[in-house]
Amino acid sequence: MALSHFYVVNNHFRTNLTRVTRDSQNDVVVAALVALDLMKNEKVHAIIGPQKLEEAQFVIDLGRKTNVPIVSFSATSPSLSPTKNEFFIRTAHDDSFQVKAIADIVKSYGWTELILIYEDTNYGNGLIPYLTDALREVNA
């Protein structure tokens, strides 16, 4: 609908945007194969997605090697850094944005000792340094 509306309003544009969709089936290998197919065979100029961290890491690396921007609305892990990946565009705050709120809750209750339980994945491991720094700032 957005594309149709765009061309109705801007009928003088000669560039035509087309949308090509593929399903990664929530699988890292399939996501990489689909992204590679889109880049090599469909000659796409950008990829929107993928949603999972593991898929995003792989596809972002492919995008960097082929100069194809990867736009993500949901890859929020702080370990995915747009500053380290020039062809990665994140449209949402990364999850490190939330650690200040967690630290403020800890501070408001006066807690000084905590045990962090986290997911032992790139996602969980990527957030811990930010959370540790935020907790240190509130003397916890």
For residue 58, is it within any domain?
yes
Contact present, 84 and 78 (Cβ < 8 Å) = no
For residue 9, is it within any domain?
no
The residue-averaged pLDDT of 122-139 equals 89
Q: Domain check: are 24 and 84 in the same one?
A: yes
CATH number at residue 70: 3.40.50.2300
The string of pLDDT tens digits covering residues 6-48 is 888 988 887 777 888 888 888 889 988 999 999 999 999 999 9
50, with CB counted inside 10 A (0-12, 13-18, 19+), is buried
What are the distances in angstroms from CA 6 to CA 9, 17, 28, 127? 5, 10, 34, 39
Q: Domain check: are 82 and 26 in the same one?
A: yes
80, with CB counted inside 10 A (0-12, 13-18, 19+), is buried
For residue 4, is it within any domain?
no
CB burial readout 94-111, b (16+ within 10 A) else e: bbbeebeebbeebbeeee
Contact present, 63 and 88 (Cβ < 8 Å) = yes
DSSP conformation class of 64? H
Residue 92 has pLDDT above 90, yes or no: no
For all residues of the chain together, what is the average pLDDT? 88
Structure tokens at 105: 């809750």
7, with CB counted inside 10 A (0-12, 13-18, 19+), is middle
pLDDT of 91 reads 86
Residue 133 has pLDDT above 90, yes or no: yes
The string of pLDDT tens digits covering residues 107-117 is 999 999 999 99
Residue 135 has pLDDT above 80, yes or no: yes
The count of structural domains within the chain is 2
Q: Of 70, 92, 114, which residue constitutes the final position of a domain?
A: 92
**What's the domain range around 127?**
97-137
Residue 122 has pLDDT above 80, yes or no: no
47-48 β-sheet, strand order: 47-48, 70-72, 88-90
